[in-house]
Amino acid sequence: MGKLSALHTMGVVNINSPARGEAFLEDLKSLTQLHKLGVCGVNQRNIHEFRSAISGHGHLESLSVQLDKGSQAGCLDVMIFKPPENLRSLKLYGLAGKLPAWIKGLLNLRKLNLQMTTILAQEEIDVLGGLPKLQILCLCLKEFQDGGKLRFRTGFRDISVLEIACNSKLKVLAFDGRDKMECVEVLKIHCCNNVSAGSANFWAREGTTTRTQGSLA
């Protein structure tokens, strides 16, 4: 596989197998022309090798990472590397605890898909608001902080598509700022506990009219 040096797309590859996973990660180092990469089976055993394998991928625009079940909280924090400058799409599945610290350095990111197995704290949401070019945000959460409240406080000025999925009831979705609500064109909410249109409150400070297309499921 290492001879396919001009390859642009690769995924989804399971790197959990000790033999095959190690061989793939070694080959991955030479696939520096990749634009899109997806891997699953990431855990404490192989995270360092994975970090090393993609450290020189300056052309990478789309990255999808799925953690193994049972991976310790903060597993991705060991990925202390300079984020690919061209990375525009990131998908992280199976996250527990805090977001990886390096996510705040993804200054060219346009699309972010996060699946959390724990509560996403308000401080973590604020970190996402600091991504200056983020336009599409998809959050899949186990539950919400503060009894079913989700608040977008700082940043998020260019968000046009917001999709939220959860295993608990969403009572309040709040946007602190007129400019944020005006940018959202598509809003989709998928919650488990038979949420109806009348059971969730959408609130924006400095209320404004929008062309937002919303749906509850």
**Position 34 pLDDT exceeds 70:** yes
Instruction: Give CA–CA dist 165/143, Å, rounded.
Output: 9
Helix or strand or coil: residue 217?
coil
One-letter amino acid identity for 5?
S
How many whole angstroms separate alpha carbon 212 and alpha carbon 209?
9
Of the candidates 48, 62, 52, the residue with the CA atom closest to the CA atom of residue 30: 52
Question: What is the rounded distance in angstroms from the CA atom of residue 52 to the CA atom of residue 49?
Answer: 5
Whole-angstrom Cα distance, residue 137 to residue 160?
Answer: 9
Instruction: List, for residues 123-176, the tens digit of each pLDDT value.
Output: 889 999 999 999 999 999 877 666 677 888 888 889 999 999 887 777 778 887
Question: Would you say residue 183 has pLDDT above 60?
Answer: yes
Dist. CA 122–CA 190, nearest whole Å = 20
Query: Cβ contacts of residue 170 below 8 Å, gap of 6+?
Result: 144, 148, 150, 164, 189, 191, 195, 200
Per-residue confidence (pLDDT) for residue 208, from 0 to 100: 40
Q: What is the DSSP letter of 137?
A: E
The pTM assigned to this predicted structure is 0.85
Q: How confident is the model over 35-62, as pLDDT tens digits?
A: 999 999 998 888 889 988 998 888 999 9
Q: Is the peptide bond before 12 cis (omega within 30 degrees of 0)?
A: yes
Domain extent listing, the chain: 1-91, 119-194
% pLDDT > 70, the chain: 76
Reported as a pLDDT band with limits 50, 70 and 90, residue 11 is: confident
